[in-house]
Structure 1
């Protein structure tokens, strides 16, 4: 296994594409093995276009969503994508499901982790996934949980951008230039045929974050000419040797 790894925990099978597809592609290009866990397919609440098709069933929707996510993960050059199939609206995790996520965390030993904002009144599945991720991160650090296994260190958990940031208490403190891999993210976005209404929206988000990247990297007095970027909020203090 590569000593440079990352783990994305996505409530639904499309969330990772819109919100951190650029980070996945960028780090994959830099040699990271990025694992994606989709806790659900988003089959009930985020597949309206599929449900409008005649003769649609729950299993057909799940299969369609899985194929879209697999194609998107391939477009981003992710190392692995796993589907827990826990259901959505609401998403719920019992102890067995949480321990399954703990097992993935310990196996991946991520350098950093990515998940949702801690609040989202429009979609409670999202913060639920993140709080479960924090709980599983804690368990993965516990020497008394399955003694003898390699315990987790202290990877940063970055919260990716929610759909309506101003209602979710999300304040980005990290901006990532994804310009070099934008075409990969665009290709992944276009894999999500069940939610075409979001394609343009998240292109605009990436352009707006790039504007902020340029300003915060020096602006007109020498800032990097980023065209597309993603924003993240860190949960834990970052340890650095220089700013």
Structure 2
């Protein structure tokens, strides 16, 4: 891994990366890392409640609004973004899309992948995003796949916190201090408020709670906001601490 690791985010819907990993994205970008977000879906059917309450709303209008909101949020966080438009509720990922994600991974050469947990009983789209990330990571590592491109290394996969972590079997293994960039995360969350405004308060309060827990686990007293992550693979080192 380089001093400025490349970060690739696989987000099931167009706002997931903002609520759950906006701090990590902004922090990484502020330190000079290249951060790229792949949105598998606009979340146009099941994740855009606020938009569907507006008179005269159509599916294409929802998609366009979500594209604009997510692009604005990514810009605030310092990330590039692309949309695969695979639909939601349910999300469907075919072989051609898997190949495309593998190509993105080989082009971006990520040191770290951020995505959803393995088992979210409330939203199976999140499960598919997780499985797609692991599957395409495996293929992107294969030396016999597409010899014209370079295989990726052993990129860690960090699962960001789901909306109801206890039910999803989520165990925080990393409390990431996002205090220096929480204002940027707030601005990015505000970009998404038209479709899911009710989540702004929830994720603001969650950041505060995780900040308190970070201090209780040894972070400096000045830490006020944090995000929680669970590792998928073992970490490697030459000492116990």
Q: Answer yes or no: is 1:8 the counterpart of 2:9.
A: yes
Tell me the residue number matched to 1:77: 78
For residue 238 of structure 1, the aligned residue among 228, 235, 240 is 235
Give the gaps of 5 or more residues in structure 2: none
Distance 1:3 1:166, change over 3 A: closer
Please name the residue that 2:197 is paired with: 196
Q: Does the CA contact (< 8 Å) of 2:4 and 2:32 recur in 1?
A: no
Choose which of 212, 228, 242 in structure 1 pairs with 2:225.
228
Residues 126, 186 of structure 1: alpha-carbon distance in 2 compared, 3 angstrom cutoff: same
2:209 matches 1:208: yes
Deviations 1:93-119 (A, max 9, x none): 000000000011111101101000111
CA contact (8 A) 2:117 2:168 kept: yes
Please give the alpha-carbon distance, in whole angstroms, between the structure 2 residues aligned to 1:224 and 1:152: 38
Task: Give the equivalent residue in structure 1 for 2:38.
Answer: 37
Q: 1:176 maps to what in 2?
A: 176
TM-score by length of 2: 0.96
Structure 1 portions without partners, runs of 5+: none
TM-score, with structure 1 as normaliser: 0.95
After superposing on structure 2, the runs of 4+ consecutive aligned residues of structure 1 that deviate more than 6 Å are none
Task: Give 3-state SS (helix, strand or coil) of 2:142's partner.
Answer: coil
In the alignment, what sits opposite 1:148? 148
1:88 matched residue in structure 2: 88
C-alpha separation between the residues in 1 aligned to 2:216 and 2:135?
A: 36
Alignment match, 1:131: 131
Aligned residue pairs, count: 237
Aligned CA RMSD, in angstroms, stands at 1.1
The alpha carbon displacement at 1:138 in A equals 0.2
User: Over residues 59-94 of structure 1, what are the superposed CA-to-partner deviations in whole Å (9 max), with x where a residue is unaligned?
Assistant: 00000000000010011011x101000000000100
Residue 3 to residue 29, structure 1, CA distance change in 2 (3 Å): closer
Q: What secondary structure is seen at the aligned counterpart in 1 of 2:67?
A: helix
Structure 2 CA distance for aligned equivalents of residues 5 and 137 of structure 1: 14
Is 2:161 the partner of 1:161? yes
